[in-house]
Amino acid sequence: MNVPSFPRTLPFAWFVPAAVVGLFGCGGTTTSNPPGTVVDAAALSTGGSGGTGGNTPGTGASGTSTGGITLASGGVTATGTSRSGGVTTGSGGRTIATGGSTGGAGGNTTGSGGSTATAGRSGGGGVGASGGTVESGGSVGSGGNAGKGDFDAGNAGLGGNAGSAGFSRDGSVDAATRGAGGTIDAGSAGPEQCANRAAIDSTKWKLVWSDEFDKDGAPDSSNWGYEEGFVRNSELQWYQPDNATVSGGLLTIAAQKQQVLNPNYKASSTDWKQNRQYAQYTSTSMTTSGKKRFLYGRFELCGQIDTRQGSWPAFWILGNGLSWPASGEVDIMEYYANGVRSNICKPSGSNCDWSGSVSQSLSSLGGTAWSSKFHLWAMEWDSQKINLYLDDKLVYGYTITSTNPYTGNPFYILVNLAIGANGGDPSSTTFPITYLVDYVRVYQKL
């Protein structure tokens, strides 16, 4: 989301607890935060565990697993806020428990009306049954969610989640049920919004981290931090955490027309962050900086974006521990000026070469009818290439060279909604402008 020289803005791998960084290559100043120490504190067990319907990801012990989730054991300290990427993590960081978690013994059993099947939902191919059907009330099966590659909201070992109850979230076949690779369940708070997405090949990919936004209230603080104030690109909004809420299985970032006093105001300043006495709009920029970082993998966001005048939503990544543009930047999705964009920064001196940028006009995708629906944005990244997708269609492929930051350096995720600047003048738009997210997921290769 950096916007230096291109008429745009904005912008598997082993998961490790992050330490630091700057924020928003989609626009940036610099920070020099050293990479954090990698601590493999609470990886998932390689065996999964059985039970009567519970989701018990192993025994809760620490240790490593194939592509497992790694949590920071003690956190790290950021060195400040930066334009290109700058969320400040307070001293002392955040300590994450190292014990894993154990699900209840009851599993998730759906309400009345379901019919009984002897296989339930099996990992061998989605829903399996000997004659059983799945009705509006849910399903009960003796197989539960089983098999290699079954992941329930990110908690699963190689053995999957096995149980005597199983469940179907909406009473019909779960929208996230996948075929021969096993089952991926998006969570129990609501139906999966990207139901027509292609199946994940669980013989190739393993879910290592996700936020399914299933708990109402503020976003999970173990996953997300926030940028605050005026940050980049002379945008109009004042970033604050309050504009992001979770309800009914969805994250909503709602930009508001709201006046906020700028505590850094200086009438004589030539700095755009200081010479505005008030911000006239508020919004939220969320980041995993200092909390989660990832080296390679498949990154996904299922979301619905507001394409009205003034809106500039994005889903992107920045390199950990490096200042922009040396950090690199991949805008898996950004939208502004009637263009749905996918961009890859090629660091060039103090700026980015944005020749790796593709824009699809909103009208070519379907106009307002398209923007009224949820869509799946994804990136597949390894040491040799980066491929960007929209609704399972390859948008842009990039071959990594030895002169860029995309080999060997972990990246962190940003999800934000900017107002103005490249997004255009919002004064005639009725607020709120919204950005809805069903889930953010990261897979790594097995």
- Which one is predicted more confidently, 92 or 206? 206
Residue 306: partners with Cβ closer than 8 Å, 6 or more residues away:
313, 371, 417, 433, 434, 435
Query: Which residues are 414's β-sheet partners?
Result: 287, 316
Question: Averaged over 400-410, what is the pLDDT?
Answer: 89
Share of the chain above pLDDT 70, in %: 58
Is the model's pLDDT at 375 over the cut of 90? yes
CA 168 from centre of chain:
24
pLDDT in tens, 126-154: 333 333 333 333 333 333 333 333 333 33
- Which one is predicted more confidently, 26 or 50? 26
Check: CB of residue 34 under 8 Å from CB of residue 89.
no
Pairing type for strands 139-141 and 115-117 reads: parallel
Is the model's pLDDT at 76 over the cut of 80? no
pTM summary value: 0.63
Residue 57, by phi and psi: left (phi above 0), alpha (psi -120 to 50) or beta? Answer: beta
Is the model's pLDDT at 291 over the cut of 80? yes
pLDDT of residue 276: 97
CATH topology of domain 14-39+222-445: Jelly Rolls (2.60.120)
In 144-175, which positions are buried (b, 16+ CB within 10 angstroms) versus exposed (e)?
bbbbbbbbbbbbbbbbbbbbbbbbbbebbebb
Share of the chain above pLDDT 90, in %: 54
Q: Cα angle at 156 between 61 and 437, to 5 degrees? A: 120
What are the structure tokens assigned to 246, written together? Answer: 């979770």
pLDDT of residue 330: 97
pLDDT of residue 404: 85
Candidates 33, 49, 34, 40; CA nearest to 17 is: 40
Task: Say how far apart CA 431 and CA 436 lie, in whole Å.
Answer: 15
pLDDT of residue 289: 97
Is the model's pLDDT at 265 over the cut of 50? yes
Burial class of residue 51 (count of CB atoms within 10 Å of its CB; 0-12, 13-18, 19+): buried
Check: CB of residue 48 under 8 Å from CB of residue 162.
yes
pLDDT of residue 196: 93
Candidates 8, 75, 120, 80; CA nearest to 293 is: 75
Question: Averaged over 21-31, what is the pLDDT?
Answer: 40
pLDDT of residue 416: 98
- Which one is predicted more confidently, 33 or 235? 235
Measured over the CA atoms of residue 24, residue 30, residue 31 and residue 36, the dihedral's sign is: positive
Q: Cα angle at 41 between 36 and 43, to 5 degrees? A: 120
Residue 165: partners with Cβ closer than 8 Å, 6 or more residues away:
52, 53, 106, 107, 108, 109, 120, 140, 141, 144
pLDDT band at residue 403 using 50, 70 and 90 as cut-offs: confident
pLDDT in tens, 315-339: 999 999 888 999 999 999 999 999 9
Which residue ranges make up each domain of the chain?
A: 14-39+222-445
